[in-house]
Structure 1
């Protein structure tokens, strides 16, 4: 069996635990920071800059793995390869069963793109990575021109500090867990774009204009823009829709309240809103209501209570030991339910600062994120604020209203003309083929039912056609959706084939062939195939140990049960299967005992 090295691994932080279960093509939970330079990007230099940046932030070199109770992150030997931008912005980076890095660096003309799955870090951590990346790129490209290397931030280079869990560090048990019941918020509706593609719109506004206008209302720029966003949504609503309030989710950087150098997720959020209730829109009233919400919610006490409330769910004794798949179902339900509490999202990533000597080469920074609805992100650089609107709807009314209200408030936005290459939709093509095959199976079933209805015979053709078509469809479905992990695919095929044959044998009068030959035969073949696959595709024991154990136990326990109950008529295939399972387990204990203990520790952590 292949050799392995001990790998560093860590638990997910409190916020990150939600993202693997809640991510989908509809909402990939990926966000993009980018930097537009004044010169074309050179791929070789950018690759060196990425490698140099990862020396400071090795925490990003991780892959996501599944345990019995929780996901976890494991250090990986994989290294990112810089390439020209080749797909839709904020496309999925986390693909279940595919152990890839959870971030990507691409470029297009003068733009450097950094995309990251939210499990790895939040906006603050991502902005630190991007600043370091851009600094390294410009230094490598221009050090011969006299550009000096500089230290950008006081963030610790210690891996221990970078992966410190702020939620766990500052969690304190509180007896009062009462939550106020929130009214359902207005929900955006509309026709989705073709193939669910993400629409992006980027703009810039002068900081001084915005600051001046915000001061006239006695509020911060963030409060002012939040009010503009609420009013922009309101202008798309009907009178009947005004029965529900417009509510925004506004993420809050907890590092401003609880000091830490963590690069992990460490944020919470507040939910400012306004109930227009059929009245005439008065911008001043909206601004003051939002300002009052910010003042009330943005306190250490309120942030600590919110943080404790959500962390308490993680350490709840019942939820803590629930199987991961059950947790995923509950998290998905909770995420969909939580969507009814808010209308849209507004993320302020803050100020991005670079040394003056480096600013000469930079046009601007930008940020936006994937969303199932509509989201607005912002960051500032030098004397401009940069906005990134994302949406999956065809209608542009909200962002058009947003810019119109800014103009009414004497703030002049300028839409940025950002170029993107043509997207590559290989996943969509694969899904289309799968849909065609599904339709063909349905044609066969409908035709067989029609023949049975038309011809009165004792032979029910539709039963066999339905069974065969469903078996083929299920095998292809598993093969398609689990194609990134051959061993998991093999395990699923083992279960589907054997259980399917037992059911088929029972439905056709029970002749015993399913447990005499199919169950032990397929179990033995899968164990042999797993050994071959592990030698060809997997070099580290951590990648195959769990599946070896599952296949060995499956090939032992079921045939043994049928032998004990006297159901098996031809004994030797079952004996061979049981023997192979026993030998596989003994071999794993003897030759991979240490690795097995490490895998059990990671997979069983709570």
Structure 2
């Protein structure tokens, strides 16, 4: 859609819709693919390689925008900048109210790291981008080697192919056979905290592991799923064994439904085991998991799961719900869904590169942010990297996993020195906001104490409480909406008059809140928005919707004047007249952009 003239945005695919609604500091929904080379990375050459790569995949040059019914992605002129890694892995890339790219490329020693917000792409799209980036880097880094510039995509692949929505393409109204799910065992324990994701990476021989899996007559994925289930089970008490251990295993739907999309196009299955018997054998677990995979990994079953999720999105009643209500629903659904699985296991498969590039590469790896524990794996040549990411301080499950592999004769080596020295993420202004909040509470508390002790018959402390609360609300709004000044202005336009109306109402109602405050605030906010737009040199799509909202709200004083709720004519008329001219000017001079922005914001 980016390749079409006049079209600069696209809808989120079905899987991507939940990520902006549920991402937070505990679960950033960011994952990292990396490539470790034989020699240290040159940052300037990597920047040139990234510039070339992004020209081939412009679909990644997107920022997240918020509509009235859905989020959407909008094309951006922002250019990605390569940085040397200094922060912990998988921190927030999607920051609400801030227009930033949803991926980044950082390097550390021999590693090229590609981190991406999951709403932008899935593992398949990410590894395709990283392979292109590594190829371009090696061509530039070793010019004398004359490495071939081999394409990893079909020659006739278009931008529309890259951003095609596989969910919409293959959606059909079918009945799902899914019944009520069993509640699974939940891992618990002390958390690591934001920015302190526990990463444990083990390196094993792909051939050795595949040989052991064949001894049980199963695939490597089935074998490792069984090992992971047993590793979790070993940490459970007798009382906790009443519930099954269940894993979420993502599935690349492109293997079942042909698609060249770089967007999200994955489903998942949920293999598990009850461990009801004390004397269970590993063979029992493997056979149970294998039977489940055989039943669920079919085009029919995966299609039913995909269509059931698409059915929710296509529901005409749910589609007209405002985005904030949808967000609450998705957040609640995500919380409930956490009880369905104990952990996650993602097999990203084999990463292949042309033989001319192999001598320069050590390995590829992948891991993701998670509030639970997630095992991710991918292989390159004979090196299979098993990466655990955990939000828990306790790492016994990881230890159990590699110990079980060792008992089967599959040796593993733990990779060390993969990240720079950890440092706690800093939030500028947070300390000031904390102190200001404490001072507001202290002022209100002191006023109540003095009021009760010295003037118990008067209630003047209520005014102090109201004033402190008003000051705190104004600053809190400014702090949490600081990334988008125009959105901040709109919220101030709503909040300040609302607080004043309540103040006016509880002090006997003199009408000053609607006669003076409301029109004055509207005029000042509209003026401030014009100044912000000029100073920041904002584009039309960056300010249009806020101007429309400010203009519509500015007509409210005229309505109040006509209905007799307001009485000061000159301020109400002045405010409403200027607001009317603002809307009229937008319609006449920026009409096309105005309707385009409304269409984006109102799409459902």
TM-score range, shorter chain: over 0.9
Name the counterpart of 2:377. 378
Which of 592, 595, 598 is matched with 1:597 structurally?
595
Helix, strand or coil at the partner of 2:182: coil
TM-score scaled by length of structure 2: 0.97
Unaligned runs of 5+ in 1: none
Name the counterpart of 2:529. 530
For the pair 1:397 / 2:396, whether they are aligned, the reply is yes
Helix, strand or coil at the partner of 2:393: coil
Equivalent-residue separation in structure 1 for 2:355 and 2:177 (angstroms): 50
In the TM superposition, what is the alpha-carbon distance from 1:38 to its structure 2 partner?
1.1
Say if 1:122 and 1:264, in contact at 8 Å, map to a contact too. Answer: yes
Q: Deviations 1:422-458 (Å, cap 9, x if unpaired)? A: 4564544543443333233222222222223323444
Say if 1:106 and 1:112, in contact at 8 Å, map to a contact too. Answer: yes
Q: Deviations 1:269-318 (Å, cap 9, x if unpaired)? A: 00000001362342111111111111010001101111111001110010
In the TM superposition, what is the alpha-carbon distance from 1:7 to its structure 2 partner?
4.7
For the pair 1:198 / 2:217, whether they are aligned, the reply is no
Name the counterpart of 2:473. 474
In the TM superposition, what is the alpha-carbon distance from 1:30 to its structure 2 partner?
0.5
Name the counterpart of 2:75. 75
Equivalent-residue separation in structure 2 for 1:128 and 1:350 (angstroms): 12
In the TM superposition, what is the alpha-carbon distance from 1:541 to its structure 2 partner?
0.6
Say if 1:188 and 1:343, in contact at 8 Å, map to a contact too. Answer: yes
Equivalent-residue separation in structure 2 for 1:122 and 1:88 (angstroms): 21
Name the counterpart of 1:158. 158
Say if 1:231 and 1:281, in contact at 8 Å, map to a contact too. Answer: no
Name the counterpart of 2:286. 287
For the pair 1:172 / 2:172, whether they are aligned, the reply is yes
Where do 1:439-450 residues align within 5 Å?
Answer: 439-450=438-449
In the TM superposition, what is the alpha-carbon distance from 1:148 to its structure 2 partner?
2.5
Where do 1:152-301 residues align within 5 Å?
Answer: 152-154=152-154, 157-174=157-174, 176-177=175-176, 179-195=178-194, 197-277=196-276, 279-301=278-300
For the pair 1:24 / 2:4, whether they are aligned, the reply is no
In the TM superposition, what is the alpha-carbon distance from 1:568 to its structure 2 partner?
2.4
Equivalent-residue separation in structure 1 for 2:338 and 2:471 (angstroms): 37
| Distance verdict in 2 for CA 1:50–1:195, change over 3 Å | closer
In the TM superposition, what is the alpha-carbon distance from 1:157 to its structure 2 partner?
3.9
Say if 1:156 and 1:261, in contact at 8 Å, map to a contact too. Answer: no
Say if 2:89 and 2:195, in contact at 8 Å, map to a contact too. Answer: no
Name the counterpart of 1:144. 144
Say if 1:270 and 1:297, in contact at 8 Å, map to a contact too. Answer: yes
Q: Which deviates more, 517-526 or 194-203? A: 194-203
Name the counterpart of 2:318. 319
Name the counterpart of 1:8. 8
Q: Which deviates more, 185-194 or 520-529? A: 185-194
Say if 2:25 and 2:194, in contact at 8 Å, map to a contact too. Answer: no
Equivalent-residue separation in structure 2 for 1:206 and 1:434 (angstroms): 52
Say if 1:242 and 1:278, in contact at 8 Å, map to a contact too. Answer: no
Equivalent-residue separation in structure 2 for 1:8 and 1:310 (angstroms): 27
Q: Deviations 1:573-599 (Å, cap 9, x if unpaired)? A: 111111111010011011100100111
For the pair 1:348 / 2:344, whether they are aligned, the reply is no
TM-score scaled by length of structure 1: 0.96
Name the counterpart of 1:103. 103
| Distance verdict in 2 for CA 1:67–1:241, change over 3 Å | same
Say if 1:155 and 1:261, in contact at 8 Å, map to a contact too. Answer: no
In the TM superposition, what is the alpha-carbon distance from 1:463 to its structure 2 partner?
0.9
